[in-house]
Amino acid sequence: MSGNTRRSSWSESSTNHIKADVIILGCSLPGFVTAHKLKKKFGDTMDIVVLDLTGKEVGGSKCNVAFVDEDEEEDKENAYKNTAQKVLDTVGRRYITVYAKEFKIPLPKAIMTPDKVKSPLNKLFEYSTGGIVDCTQDFHDFDYLNIFESFELNRYQTLLDQSMRNLFQSYSIDNVSERKQLIYFDQTTMEKHICNELIFSNSKDIMRNMVRLVCGAPANVVSVLFYLHQCYRTSSTRNHLDGDNIKMREKLLGHCRKRIANKLQKSLANITMPAKSISKISTYSNEQVILKTLKGDQNYVCNLLAMAIKPDELRNIEVEARLLYNNEIAITSEMKKGKSKKFLIQYEESFWKRFGYSGDILSVRGPILWATERPDLSLTGSLEKYAALIGFLRVKENDDDDSKEAVIKQLVRLFGEDAATPVSYRETEIADVYIPRCGDYIGLRLLTGKTKPSFLEWGALDVFADGDLAAALEAGHTTYLHLMRCLRPQAQTYEDVSIADWPTMLNGNPFKIWFAQVTLKRSVNLMFYTAAAYIGMRVIQNYMRK
């Protein structure tokens, strides 16, 4: 039973074994979600154990957020329901809402309904040359670009949206025709795709910035397919800089992740146990999974194992070939860790508002890539002591230096000398998603998408690190559904399955399909060939007359 020490009948040594029906290896957020859902579903009728390999407790939010106190939750229930029961149009909002509702965590408007906290003040766009433009519309409308730059950028995003629909809505992963398309996209890096499709430097730089912000990695290490998958979860490649899309705010602020993880950890305290380092994972008689410890004095045995550790933690664990093939091990071991940096700079007052600015910044020059005034995250109406800007910084390889001087210099360039004397400055690294190599994405989808795992469930492999709360919740919930199909299929409920349904709001508009194929390069080529054909016809006509 859970937590009980047994002596194995098949072991030839005196090794102690801890047995369970299901073991979740690792205390990552996807692992917490998997264990919580299984425990809630099966209660004491099934032995479920969470092995904590780190021994570290997940702390509460370090963000300046005023959550409702436990005693006040009942009084604030109506305010919470009004926020949580919105009609959700993205996978991200859906998962955050479901788990926030379960643990009665207030959902700030800045994350769930950002369209209601938009500012009428001007935003700033900074060109790579240092030029600065005011914009009154949302960033994704690109009203600061010239007509040609705006045309090709909108056209390119339409192309990506259409590709998402074709890849992730029309077919299943097992469809042969889709697999051919997936291979094409997966072997094409994002940087090559951007350079082949876009002409103007501003259009290219904006797309590169978006890739950095969404994936936590530069365009030249992200495949088109992986980027499309990340964007499809939020319904579109558009609107990642300002507006309805919550992914960047979710990554930047992170308080929902820490709060939910803390609640989940407390709910699983009685089935979580510290574990010694795992050296090998093997199987016995095709019936059980055995986790052998480094010293071998205590092993763990289960019928099903859910992997909830980070890919780089697998490098020190030997996995038997029957459980994980060499090519699958290579996929996880070669994944690149995405890296983002966020900054918080505080001032005594919001001086930018005096000049008619909202504090929103988009820059393709850097070091600030994207910034906004720190949103009001309190449902209790508490006031912050200082005004603050919060956002993402450009991250260079092997560059751990503080960017304070460069950030202040950039803000002075944008807002004037009032920005030269901040009250405080802080920047923090975000452990972002693990990026699969361009040729490995299909294998990763197949590995984490198996509907009937025989021994191991890899859906909870924590490739999302700290950067994507909704993706981590989704991975844990999907793993729970996979395990349930093996353990007790009839126990699945409509609510559990419906949460995992993907959005279908990307419509196949024939005009958009045609528009996605129109590029400036193709238009110039068409004009050239048309002019050449016209001149050729006139030459032939003159020759015939003579």
For the chain, percent of residues with pLDDT exceeding 70:
81
- Give the residue from 435, 450, 481 where a domain finishes: 435
For the chain, percent of residues with pLDDT exceeding 90:
16
Q: E strand or H helix at 358, and its extent?
A: strand 357-363
414 neighbors 371 (Cβ within 8 angstroms): no
- Same domain for 392 and 528, yes or no, is no
- Same domain for 319 and 356, yes or no, is no
Of 44-53, 193-202, 282-291, which range is least confident? 282-291
Residue bearing the bigger pLDDT, 85 or 122: 122
- Same domain for 310 and 351, yes or no, is no
Q: Confidence class of residue 369 from pLDDT cuts 50, 70 and 90? A: very high
Question: For residue 95, what are the contacts with CB-CB under 8 A and spacing of at least 6?
Answer: 470, 473, 474, 477, 499
Report CA dihedral (196, 200, 202, 206) to the nearest 10 degrees: -20
Mean pLDDT, residues 406-420 taken together: 94
Q: What is the pLDDT of residue 87?
A: 38
- Same domain for 33 and 155, yes or no, is no
**Within a domain: residue 317?**
yes
- Same domain for 53 and 135, yes or no, is no
- Same domain for 317 and 341, yes or no, is no
Q: Confidence class of residue 377 from pLDDT cuts 50, 70 and 90? A: low
Q: What is the CATH number of the domain that holds 302?
A: 3.50.50.60
- Same domain for 446 and 326, yes or no, is yes
**Within a domain: residue 92?**
no
The predicted-structure confidence for 504-519, as pLDDT tens digits, reads as follows 555 556 666 666 666 6
pLDDT at 64 over 70: no
**Within a domain: residue 79?**
no
Q: What is the CATH number of the domain that holds 178?
A: 3.90.660.10
pLDDT at 496 over 90: no
Question: For residue 386, what are the contacts with CB-CB under 8 A and spacing of at least 6?
Answer: 346, 347, 348, 423, 424
- Same domain for 129 and 220, yes or no, is yes
Q: What is the pTM of this model?
A: 0.81
Of 253-257, 270-274, 409-413, which range is least confident? 253-257
The predicted-structure confidence for 2-27, as pLDDT tens digits, reads as follows 344 333 333 334 457 788 889 999 88
Mean pLDDT, residues 165-185 taken together: 65
- Same domain for 208 and 190, yes or no, is yes
**Within a domain: residue 518?**
yes
Q: Residue 154's domain spans which residues?
A: 119-243+337-435
Of 6-10, 84-88, 196-200, 497-501, which range is least confident? 6-10
- Same domain for 29 and 139, yes or no, is no
Token pair for 11: 């072991």
Token pair for 278: 């795992």
Query: What is the number of structural domains in the chain?
Result: 3
Q: What are the respective helix, strand and coil percentages of the chain, to the nearest 5?
A: 45, 20, 35
Q: Confidence class of residue 89 from pLDDT cuts 50, 70 and 90? A: low
Greatest mean pLDDT range, 324-333, 372-381, 399-408: 399-408
**Within a domain: residue 457?**
yes
**Within a domain: residue 184?**
yes
**Within a domain: residue 480?**
yes
**Within a domain: residue 98?**
no
- Give the residue from 435, 465, 480 where a domain finishes: 435
- Same domain for 25 and 171, yes or no, is no
The predicted-structure confidence for 432-470, as pLDDT tens digits, reads as follows 888 887 778 877 877 777 767 778 888 888 888 888 888
- Same domain for 454 and 425, yes or no, is no
486 neighbors 456 (Cβ within 8 angstroms): no
> Is residue 8 packed enough to be buried (19+ CB in 10 Å), middle (13-18) or exposed (0-12)?
middle
pLDDT at 179 over 70: no
